[in-house]
Structure 1
Amino acid sequence: MRWLRNILALAPCGKPQASHFAHVTGLLQWLPGRLNFTNLEHYGGRSARTHARWFARPFPFARLAVAALGALPPQVPEGLGELLAMDASFVAKSGDQTWGTGWFGSGMARAARWGLEVTLLAAVDVAEGGAYPLCARQSPGTVRSRRQACGADTGRETALDAALALLGEAVAAGAKETLGTRWVAVDGGYARRPFVEGVRQLDLHTVGRLRKDAVLRFPYLGSHERRPGRKRQFDGCFDRRHPARMARTPLKKAKVDLYHAVLHAKAWPCWLQVVYVLPRGADPETKEGVLLYSTDLDLAPERIFRFYGARFQIEFAFRDAKQHLGLNDGQARSQARQHFHFNLVFAALFWARLQARLQAERPLGPFSLRHRKRHKLEEEIHKRIAARSATGRNAPNAGAGRCRIPPERLWLRAPPPETGPAGP
């Protein structure tokens, strides 16, 4: 983890805090079992109270990740960080004293479940096909009250507010200047006017998916008659069953047809670069396609299609964080400690993928955190066995004078001498 320690020397944090972050991040690369304070104390050597205290303090996760991506060597291709992906995931943790619990949508259960929700922002390498987590933020919980159930405004922060705050944190960390970030890819849940306007205020563009019932209008390009009143702006609405009014671009490799045009979204309202994706040879009368959009009117339709497909790499980050890094195993209950826990898990994934990328010196492609973590665990076991054998200790808490290796068992310290084959 030498690369991590070099970047930590430039981070705006003290040496003790940087040392604790490097210690826990390296520990998560091979930690077996659950990620809680007890397990960190058992395998890491530092007390659970020490970890709990450091978890309660703020840490510049976004600045550290952006600085690491900005300091990559020349063999890493350019373009990493131009596209950011954002998505939210359900976390099955629902204690009575846990901050932020509420009803959130679970993709696995296909229903709303009581627990937590965390929103992740990741830098996507479109050429490589991988996501590098930058920072995460917990969504505010829901209030189980009659006032909110009736739809009244409670003045609380919403999930869209948390997503915009997370994006603003990355921009404040220097994502646009260091990484050249220009676009943010999101799913259909973020196709709302407050989010799109908030992204535009950050001088970024949104790439996402539109609802099925979105009202899109063609611009009027004809001549205007000399008569009083406002000039005509629109020339009919977009109909999914008749996409022939839009320009068509076939993609042979993806086996789809892209129908694209600059249309006006009535609900927002603003002009969008709209791409209607249909399978090749499909009948628009019977087959329903997917509506993609971008607020960048100069973005090519092929890139919109590719950017939205690359957005799904963030789902693999959620999978690795839950299955191998203990995203659901947090022992903390306060907002500050949970924030540190979520960001620590994704930071461990970020540094594991980045270290594998630097060692490979080529695009990674499929990345298996399971194999990498198992390999790191075997290395740690061999290292500890070798260290105890070299010092003459066969128990972790026993004194050196009481646990000396007897002469008849010196093979624990050195390999046995080679012997030839037995005689007749």
Structure 2
Amino acid sequence: MTIKANQNVKQLIINILKTEVFSSLNKARKDFIFSVLWHILSIKGRINFLQLGRFSSYGEQTFRNQFEKEFDFFSFNGHLIKQCVPGERIVVFDPSYIPKAGKSTYGMGRYWSGVAKSAKWGLEICGFAVVDIANNTALHLNAWQTPSADELKKRRLNLLAYYASLVTENAADFKGFSDYIVADAYFSKKPFVDAITSSGLHFLSRLRDDSVLMYKYKGGPTGKKGAPKKFNGRVDPQNPDLNYFTTDLINEDIAIYSAVVYSKAFKRDIKLAIAIFFKDGKEIARKLYFSTDINQTGEKIVSNYRSRFQIEFLYRDAKQFTGLSTCQARSKNKLDFHFNAALTAVNLAKHDWISTETHSTKPFSMANYKTLYNNTLMLERFMCMFAINPYSAKNQKIVKELLDYGKIAA
């Protein structure tokens, strides 16, 4: 017996697997994908082969074998995103540190941990997500595991070049969601910016406070010998020249000024947005944001960059609730499957949230959805074993109460 509460997410998985992209998969493989995504969503505690084997009809060894096979999570999540995010979207990129012990696992090395503010031993994934601007939430698109330093050396790549290669190799697919790639200030470097723009995408990020930026000269010929004058002095972010800058937004919390300027580091024109943040009428911070699209407004640049942080919440939910950092595997294929399955499970819960009428007033809570799906899993088991009809008039109210048991109060 199936309880109606989980029909949205279950039917969503089935419908996506019925699309032409997955026509080559046999029924056994589709059934497994359905099972693993549903159980990642509904099992509380660690998500690993042992746990999955305990709660599902498949054995532990089946999960180990099936995780080794490739699955197109990029297309799966792409279908899901296009269904629930019809409006404005941006593609966000951010690496994430995954703790892991040992030395024999693929990709082991020292990677930067933003939480620890230091490099730590473990793994790293390079995650791409699509941010739904209207609902201000990120949905996972795909993640690639970062190779070890030795492997990158064999490929004659540094870490930044590897990150850039992921964008250029998948640029055509990213353009199906947005023309804009957003990443944090670490990626504001010429090789990375050049790689993205050469692939037909625009790049948004934040600049260093001491970046060398030049005003574009707007006057006529000076009459002096030599090359025509190109620049008219250096931009001082503390005292922007309002003859060049336009005022995009001013309120009690923020003021945004924008202008097309020349970046010495990037050796190109960029659209610069200076954002000044206020608290209690006093300035508390001043940040420089930019876009390679010189026609984009400063307000849009700042709002899109600030939406980038939604990918951090995506990683947080996956680590806390869907086992992103609890994989038992050591091989490349199994790790890739596990990382993407964990993040995709969060997508399924978010799709369920977006499809509800109250999503605009009720914030997304992965903890509540985890509790709901866990309760559903247990109730389905009890009702199947005891032959109870959940749809009878007498049981419907009781079932609803049990499904909400343990949820965080709104």
* TM-score normalized by the length of structure 2: 0.84
Post-superposition Cα deviations, 1:324-378, rounded to whole Å, max 9, x if no partner, equal: 1111101111112111111111111111211222244754762111111111111
Specify the code of the residue in structure 2 equivalent to 1:183: Y
Specify whether residues 264 and 154 from structure 1 end up closer, same or farther in structure 2 by C-alpha distance, changes over 3 A only: farther
Following the alignment from structure 1 to structure 2, what is the Cα–Cα distance between the partners of residues 55 and 337?
5
Instruction: Tell me what 1:264 maps to.
Output: 262
Matches for 1:392-403 after TM superposition, within 5 Å: none
Q: 2:66 aligns with which of 40, 54, 60?
A: 54
Specify whether residues 270 and 98 from structure 1 end up closer, same or farther in structure 2 by C-alpha distance, changes over 3 A only: same
- Aligned residue pairs total 374
Bigger-Rg structure (1/2): 1
Q: 1:110 aligns with which of 82, 107, 117?
A: 117
Following the alignment from structure 1 to structure 2, what is the Cα–Cα distance between the partners of residues 138 and 210?
27
Following the alignment from structure 1 to structure 2, what is the Cα–Cα distance between the partners of residues 351 and 266?
44
Following the alignment from structure 1 to structure 2, what is the Cα–Cα distance between the partners of residues 93 and 191?
29
Following the alignment from structure 1 to structure 2, what is the Cα–Cα distance between the partners of residues 65 and 169?
18
Instruction: Tell me what 1:176 maps to.
Output: 175
- Residue 21 (1) aligns with residue 33 (2): yes
Following the alignment from structure 2 to structure 1, what is the Cα–Cα distance between the partners of residues 241 and 219?
19
Q: 1:203 aligns with which of 185, 200, 204?
A: 200
8 Å Cα contact 2:254/2:276 also seen in 1: yes
Post-superposition Cα deviations, 1:61-112, rounded to whole Å, max 9, x if no partner, equal: 111211223345xxx6522xx3111111111113211111222111211111
8 Å Cα contact 1:130/1:365 also seen in 2: no
- Residue 7 (1) aligns with residue 16 (2): yes
Instruction: Tell me what 2:55 maps to.
Output: 43
Specify the code of the residue in structure 2 equivalent to 1:9: K
Q: 1:136 aligns with which of 122, 126, 143?
A: 143
What is the identity percentage for the equivalent residue pairs of Structure 1 and Structure 2?
Answer: 29
Following the alignment from structure 1 to structure 2, what is the Cα–Cα distance between the partners of residues 24 and 223?
67
Following the alignment from structure 2 to structure 1, what is the Cα–Cα distance between the partners of residues 105 and 361?
38
- CA RMSD between the two structures: 2.5
Matches for 1:20-419 after TM superposition, within 5 Å: 20-72=32-84, 77-79=86-88, 82-143=89-150, 155-168=155-168, 170-172=170-172, 174-177=173-176, 179=177, 181-245=178-242, 246-249=244-247, 251-252=249-250, 255-280=253-278, 289-360=286-357, 362-363=359-360, 366-390=363-387
Structure 1 runs not aligned, ≥5 long: 392-424
8 Å Cα contact 1:128/1:364 also seen in 2: no
Post-superposition Cα deviations, 1:8-43, rounded to whole Å, max 9, x if no partner, equal: 111334123322211100111111221111111111
Specify whether residues 186 and 137 from structure 1 end up closer, same or farther in structure 2 by C-alpha distance, changes over 3 A only: same
Following the alignment from structure 2 to structure 1, what is the Cα–Cα distance between the partners of residues 129 and 67?
22
Following the alignment from structure 1 to structure 2, what is the Cα–Cα distance between the partners of residues 154 and 243?
47
Following the alignment from structure 1 to structure 2, what is the Cα–Cα distance between the partners of residues 37 and 360?
36
Structure 2 runs not aligned, ≥5 long: 1-9, 389-410
Instruction: Tell me what 1:401 maps to.
Output: none
8 Å Cα contact 1:94/1:116 also seen in 2: no
Deviation at 1:134, TM superposition (A): 0.7
Specify whether residues 27 and 125 from structure 1 end up closer, same or farther in structure 2 by C-alpha distance, changes over 3 A only: same
